[in-house]
Structure 1
Amino acid sequence: MKKMNDKKKPVFILTIETSGLTSGVSIGQDGELLAERALNLKNIHSRKMALMLKQLMEDVKLDYRDLAAIALSAGPGSFTGLRIGYSLAKGLAHPLCLPLIEVSTLDVWAYQQGKTDLPVMALIDAHRNEIFCGLYRWKQNTLHREGDYRLVPLKDLPALLREPTLIVGADTVQLKEKIMKFSAEAARFPFPFLTQPENWALLHLAFQKYQAGELRAVSEAEPRYMRAFKGVM
């Protein structure tokens, strides 16, 4: 009798990051990073992403048909960057009937900072003295978001930061002085500052969503633009 092979099929996920300055792509197997490419330069998403993807797939010797899903940083973020990332992901996923996995850019920023005993606020500058933010807390080895994503004026930070809180995100450095003006007692800043969203963090969160069945059809996926909402997301 032929022996059954119970080895699980590997889950390959492609990630695409275009929510801000960084252009990044990566491939992971079962949530672990295999290869990545990233450029931290302005205005190159539309010119470099296709080439980066081609090189990445050649590096890992995989075909797009080997993928289980395509994950992307869903914002909030740059209108142009998110539009390019979503167009690319949908263009790849649609003919192959692949699901998409949308991961909040704020979740990526909070997760990549690593486990801490402090609550975490991930933020992105929304301009007009406002920020997009999410509040998080590590419980055992899992990051939990507390409440909804928010669009709030900087002057309202004291109502959110009721205890010492680690502040992270793409715009933390440039907003540090304003944050300290309103929340000097509670605000804590990491050192060194991380300056861009990391592919491995996007991949880890995407794999968690894949395992939980949090998948989106191409027709359902929509980015979270900077000014797509007012108040609470």
Structure 2
Amino acid sequence: MKVLGIDTSSEVATAALLAEEKLVAEYILNHRHTHLEKLVSMIDRLLSDSDTKLEELDAIAVAVGPGSFTGIRIGMACAQGLSHVHGIPIVGVNTLDALAHNLMHCGDFLCAAVDAQRGEVYACLYRWEGAELMRFWDYEVIKVEKLAKRLTDLNGNAVLLGDGAVLVESALPEEVKSSGKIVVAKRPFAMPRASSVAEAGLKDLKEGRTFNCFNIRPFYMRKSHAEEKWEERYGKGKPGKSDH
């Protein structure tokens, strides 16, 4: 089985090709928000370099959020277009779940935290128990200080992942930082990786949890800033575009 992974839910644009027996290729661009102009060429090069045709793919795994509203739409639109033209099933992968796959089989708690702006993060707590990823909290939007307090009270060590990790770390008490109880993952493991999206997607594919280009939906945990402002001013209606 071959799965193309895509994640553009943050400032990182990443694509990967995963086969059951190995990671074939992975490209990561953590430079600027240029997803719209870079993603298609990134996927084209990924497949070309790995001598893989789109028709050979068994599924496309795409990060559906939470994260940047604009970034999520770009990644999903690309996956939907490829699915529609080539008849490839799509697997929707939660961004927080994908981050937890960056440190598979880690014995510590894993806290995925994605910057939601306004002093908040999208967050969830996990731990690997053998080959199973256990989720301890519901996905939530939470103030950075509140999350730092909850992690401090954990009975165990925790590793922070995602672009919200440094925000949470900055809110920790100094004694907790110096103790090493809660740490930020090393940079290659803290950022979104399409290989992790593909890994999570491969599991869903095997279990038959797939979508097509028409029925997959993004996972937005709150309304965009534009929607909130629109409803404040005009009531419910059609807002403009925004991010996060």
Same fold (TM over 0.5): yes
- 1:1-41 per-residue CA deviation (whole Å, 9 max, x = no partner) reads xxxxxxxxxx1111111111111111121263111222111
Q: 204-213 vs 112-121, which deviates more?
A: 112-121
What is the RMSD computed on CA atoms of the aligned residues? Answer: 2.4
Q: How far does residue 101 in structure 1 lie from its aligned partner after superposition?
A: 0.6
Structure number having the greater helix percentage? 2
- 1:155-208 per-residue CA deviation (whole Å, 9 max, x = no partner) reads 433346432333222221243212447x76895114534342123222211111
Does structure 1 retain, via aligned residues, the 8 Å contact 2:2–2:20?
A: yes
Matches within 5 A, 1:2-17: 11-17=1-7
Give, as a single letter, the amino acid of the residue that structure 2 aligns with 1:92. L
Residue in 2 that maps onto 1:43? 33
Give, as a single letter, the amino acid of the residue that structure 2 aligns with 1:163. N
Residue in 1 that maps onto 2:218? 223
Residue in 2 that maps onto 1:156? 146
SS at match of 2:171: helix
Distance in 1 (CA, whole Å) between partners of 2:106 and 2:51 is 37
Give, as a single letter, the amino acid of the residue that structure 2 aligns with 1:177. S
Distance in 2 (CA, whole Å) between partners of 1:28 and 1:162 is 35
Residue in 1 that maps onto 2:191? 196
SS at match of 1:189: strand
- 1:196-224 per-residue CA deviation (whole Å, 9 max, x = no partner) reads 21232222111111111111122121222
Matches within 5 A, 1:1-233: 11-30=1-20, 32-157=22-147, 158-159=149-150, 161-164=153-156, 165-180=158-173, 188-190=182-184, 192-193=186-187, 194-225=189-220, 227-228=222-223
SS at match of 1:227: coil
Please, which runs of 5 or more residues in structure 1 have no aligned partner?
A: 1-10
Q: How far does residue 62 in structure 1 lie from its aligned partner after superposition?
A: 2.0
Give, as a single letter, the amino acid of the residue that structure 2 aligns with 1:48. K
Q: 194-203 vs 14-23, which deviates more?
A: 194-203
- 1:57-114 per-residue CA deviation (whole Å, 9 max, x = no partner) reads 2112222111111111121111111111111110110122221111111112112123
Residue in 1 that maps onto 2:242? none
Give, as a single letter, the amino acid of the residue that structure 2 aligns with 1:215. T
- Using the size of structure 1 for normalisation, the TM-score is 0.83
Please, which runs of 5 or more residues in structure 2 have no aligned partner?
A: 225-244
- 1:118-146 per-residue CA deviation (whole Å, 9 max, x = no partner) reads 22211112222222111112112322112
The count of aligned residue pairs is 219
